[in-house]
Amino acid sequence: MTAGPGEPPALELDGVHYAYPDGRVALRGVDLRVAPGERVAVLGPNGSGKTTLVLHCNGILQAGAGRVVVEGLPVEQANLREIRRRVGIVFQDPDDQLFLPTVHRDVAFGPANLGLSGGALAVRVADALSAVGMADAADRAPHHLSLGQRRRVALATVLAMEPGILVFDEPSANLDPQARRELAGVVVALGLTTLIVTHDLLYAAELCERAVILDAGRVVADGATLELLADGDLLARHRLELPRLARLT
């Protein structure tokens, strides 16, 4: 999917460079445009710059050169509060996002900090939990939930902020087949602009029509997911591999 005539991208990176304080260069002139409502998989070997790219999307890291624009708003210091509301990151470990005694309190935490309260806050929490199929878990302790359930609650904490863009870091990691399907169903039903950073190439093919491959801090391929994953030479050059028995159709 590409933005229509006159329609700006939901997310735009232009010539983004980034080097860590120790001098290690993680991104080398990354260009990426994601259209509203598009789901894009970000693939690449360990150390390719995927996590660094993700952290630029909501200003946790800021480009040393180039620019990042979220829904028309430049990622810069003056805009960070709004950028971080618009871009919700769901990290691989849900325990990084769940730290309060109940699911309800975890999901309410973000919007309450923005000043929402009373009935409006209750509706926001209920809607977010309903969207991820966890409405019945509001009064439960997060640590009593399964990994798949905790990952969906972590997503609910992000949805409660009403973001326009979701970014997932390894969403399928360590999930059983049913939990994988449940999470995939939620992501598709939400219909939000989504970046999915993953080593799980089959999950990428299931969820994303488009994929980009990042290696050594550069975008080395950008196209239809099934076409990229059918190119064995491309995958081999960038240390990616489908499961031995996988068949893409």
Do 44 and 240 contact (CB within 8 A), yes or no? yes
Which residues contact residue 141 at a Cβ distance below 8 angstroms, ignoring those fewer than 6 apart?
A: 101, 102, 103
Over residues 100-125, the pLDDT tens digits come to: 999 999 999 999 999 999 999 999 99
Name the pairing type of β-strands 210-215 and 39-43. Answer: parallel
Banded model confidence at residue 245, pLDDT cuts 50, 70, 90: low
Q: Report the predicted TM-score, pTM, of the whole model to 2 decimal places.
A: 0.91
What local confidence, expressed as pLDDT, does residue 231 receive? Answer: 96
- For residue 211, pLDDT beyond 70: yes
Distance CA 150, CA 160 (A): 15
Residue 248 has pLDDT above 90, yes or no: no
In angstroms, the CA 25 to CA 196 distance is 22
DSSP H or E stretch at residue 112: helix 103-113
134-148 confidence digits (pLDDT tens)? 999 999 999 999 999
Question: Mean pLDDT, to the nearest integer, of 22-36?
Answer: 96
Domain ranges of the chain: 11-97+165-237
Return the pLDDT at 243. Answer: 82
Query: Does 247 score more than 70 pLDDT?
Result: no
Place of tokens 């640590």: 143
What letter does residue 72 receive in the DSSP assignment?
Answer: T
Longest dimension (CA), the chain: 57
Mean pLDDT of all residues in 208-225: 97
Q: Please report, as a single letter, which amino acid is at residue 124.
A: R
Band (13; pLDDT cuts 50, 70, 90):
very high
pLDDT of residue 7: 72
Question: 6: pLDDT confidence band, cut at 50, 70 and 90?
Answer: low
Mean pLDDT of all residues in 213-241: 96
Query: What Rg, from alpha-carbon coordinates, does the chain have?
Result: 18
Span 155-166, mean pLDDT? 97
Give residue 2's pLDDT band: very low, low, confident or very high (50, 70, 90). very low
Neighbouring CB atoms inside 10 A of 1's CB total 13
At 138, list the tokens: 């509001």
* Domain 11-97+165-237: which CATH number of 3.30.2130.10, 3.40.50.300, 3.30.1280.10, 3.20.20.70: 3.40.50.300
Please tell me the predicted confidence (pLDDT) of residue 1: 45
Q: Among 149, 72, 81, 73, which residue's Cα sits nearest to residue 114? A: 81
Residue 238: per-residue pLDDT: 97
What pLDDT score does 112 carry? 96
**End-to-end C-alpha distance for the chain, whole angstroms:** 20
Residue 10's pLDDT band (cuts 50, 70, 90): very high
Q: Is the pLDDT of residue 57 over 90?
A: yes
